[in-house]
Structure 1
Amino acid sequence: MNQDALKKSLDELKNLNPKTPGAWPWAVKIIAFVAMFAVVVAAGVWFVWMDQWEELSRIKQEEATLKETFLVKKKQAINLDLIKKQLTETQESFGALLKQLPSKSEMDALLTDINQAGLGRGLQFELFKPGVETVKGAFAELPITIKVSGNYDDIGKFASDIALLPRIVTLNDISINISGGALVMDATAKTFRYLDTEEAAAQKKKDKPAAGAKK
């Protein structure tokens, strides 16, 4: 474009009448339309879309927070189910263990079973002495001092028979020596029983002052 044409275009722009845009040249109309469109878009972005974008950002942030909260709750729910399952298993195990404990009235029969287990293996009881019960929580522990003599196999089978009794009996402080050509085993058998209702109530009353003294 030469200088004359440029000057002519500038003169046309200067002489444009804003009141009669329909009479403007097509090139000017297109430029004006593009400029107006840009202004409208910019105004829309500033006055309308900006608020919508802020709202969209807020919603996305809330969505992320909700997802995180959901994952935490889901993990807690899974852990809660696991804890409930473990609690149920513990209660079942405790119930099974409780069934293995004799009552106070069944202790004499259990002592007889221990004695018969040794005699059934051909062992000689040199000592069978129940000790003093010790209350431990909801249970009472009864130690029994025993001394038996016999051969190695019979003593081993006696120990296995004790472990297989329907009630809980443990052999502790085992000592084996040779005397007169035979093996002699000294041990403390411990068995347990659950406290009856009256004993449990008395034990609770006894424990309360002790708990208060600790505070």
Structure 2
Amino acid sequence: MSLIVEMRRLGELDWRELDVKEAGSWPWSLQLLLCLLVLGVMFFGMHWYLAASAKEQLDQVRAEESRLILDYRSKTAQAASLEAMREQMSVLDASMETLREMLPTGSEVPSLLDSISEAAIDHQLAIDFLRLRSQVEKDHYTERPFDIQVRGDYHRIGAFLADVASMPRIVTLHDLTLTPEENGQRLRLSMQARTYSYRQQGRGES
């Protein structure tokens, strides 16, 4: 019955005449609602004051956790492939060493030119000139160009070019020009050849 009476009192209450100074005489149900409202506001304020910063820190920790997990997975994958990468590096180092051995040192360039001259003579070609140009410094190697001009028939010139290209030391051929001589029986070959020397940083040429 008291609950029905309280509900009736709330229904008959003139909210405009309520005075905070007389809060003690308000219906107990109204007082209870106000207490709950005050407690709710206090709880919300405490939560905002105490938990907001903690929630922000929690979000930062979670973000850091995600980053660390990704970093861990990346490093785990790298560690799993480390042995294969080492094997690949070993193969590449061996290939690089083989290529370096095919590059003449500065002191070996004259003997390389002699080998080219001997190849021309072996194929019965007349040598007009075999002239070394100034070397060109690159980032990791030195380029050593030289001009060649020989005369002979087509097949002998072709065999000579094949011999030069297959020499133990790397020689590349550029700007080939093949022109007939006046009698039409022989051809003149003019070209630039290049060989290379490996440069180690801080150690000069190999």
Bin of the TM-score, shorter chain as denominator length: 0.5 to 0.7
Aligned residue in 2 for 1:130? 131
Give, in whole Å, the separation in 2 of the partners of 1:178 and 1:37: 112
Q: How does 1:6-17 map to 2 (within 5 A)?
A: none
Using the TM superposition, give the Cα deviation of residue 41 of structure 1 relative to its aligned residue in structure 2, in angstroms. 1.5
1:94–1:178: structure 2 CA closer, same or farther, 3 Å change rule? same
Superimposed CA distance per residue, residues 3-48 of structure 1 (whole angstroms, 9 cap, x where no aligned partner): xx769966xxxxx9959xxxx9xxx5444333322211211111x1
Q: Is the 8 A contact 2:180 2:188 kept in 1?
A: yes
Using the TM superposition, give the Cα deviation of residue 65 of structure 1 relative to its aligned residue in structure 2, in angstroms. 6.9
Deviation >4 Å, runs of 4+: 5-10, 16-19, 28-31, 63-68, 91-97
Superimposed CA distance per residue, residues 64-84 of structure 1 (whole angstroms, 9 cap, x where no aligned partner): 87489x49x96xx99xx9xxx
More helix by share: 1
Using the TM superposition, give the Cα deviation of residue 167 of structure 1 relative to its aligned residue in structure 2, in angstroms. 1.5
Superimposed CA distance per residue, residues 159-208 of structure 1 (whole angstroms, 9 cap, x where no aligned partner): 34323323222223322111232322122323334589xx949xxxxxxx
Q: Look up the equivalent residue of 1:52 and give its one-letter code.
A: L
1:59 aligns with 2:57: yes
Q: Is the 8 A contact 1:104 1:195 kept in 2?
A: no
Q: Percent identity?
A: 19
Aligned residue in 2 for 1:189? 193
Aligned residue in 1 for 2:44? 45
1:194–1:130: structure 2 CA closer, same or farther, 3 Å change rule? farther
Give, in whole Å, the separation in 1 of the partners of 2:166 and 2:172: 10
Equivalent residues, number: 169
Aligned residue in 1 for 2:112? 110
Q: Look up the equivalent residue of 1:126 and give its one-letter code.
A: I
Gaps of 5+ in 1: 11-15, 202-215
Q: How does 1:1-215 map to 2 (within 5 A)?
A: 18=24, 28-46=27-45, 48-56=46-54, 58-59=56-57, 62=60, 66=64, 70=67, 92=93, 97-119=99-121, 122-134=123-135, 136=137, 139=142, 141-151=144-154, 153-179=155-181, 180=183, 181-193=185-197, 200=204
Using the TM superposition, give the Cα deviation of residue 102 of structure 1 relative to its aligned residue in structure 2, in angstroms. 1.1
Q: Look up the equivalent residue of 1:136 and give its one-letter code.
A: E
Using the TM superposition, give the Cα deviation of residue 141 of structure 1 relative to its aligned residue in structure 2, in angstroms. 1.9
Using the TM superposition, give the Cα deviation of residue 59 of structure 1 relative to its aligned residue in structure 2, in angstroms. 2.4
Superimposed CA distance per residue, residues 107-162 of structure 1 (whole angstroms, 9 cap, x where no aligned partner): 34322332344455x351332423354363663625143313221x4434433432
Q: Look up the equivalent residue of 1:191 and give its one-letter code.
A: T
Q: Look up the equivalent residue of 1:109 and give its one-letter code.
A: S
Aligned residue in 1 for 2:18? none
1:43–1:195: structure 2 CA closer, same or farther, 3 Å change rule? closer
Give, in whole Å, the separation in 2 of the partners of 1:164 and 1:144: 18
Give, in whole Å, the separation in 1 of the partners of 2:10 and 2:189: 128
Using the TM superposition, give the Cα deviation of residue 49 of structure 1 relative to its aligned residue in structure 2, in angstroms. 0.5
1:40–1:117: structure 2 CA closer, same or farther, 3 Å change rule? same
Look up the SS of the partner of 1:166 in the other structure.
coil
1:129–1:118: structure 2 CA closer, same or farther, 3 Å change rule? closer
Q: Is the 8 A contact 1:174 1:186 kept in 2?
A: yes
Give, in whole Å, the separation in 2 of the partners of 1:8 and 1:126: 125
Give, in whole Å, the separation in 2 of the partners of 1:146 and 1:7: 119
RMSD: 4.8
Q: Look up the equivalent residue of 2:137 and give its one-letter code.
A: K
Give, in whole Å, the separation in 1 of the partners of 2:153 and 2:180: 10
Give, in whole Å, the separation in 1 of the partners of 2:28 and 2:10: 19
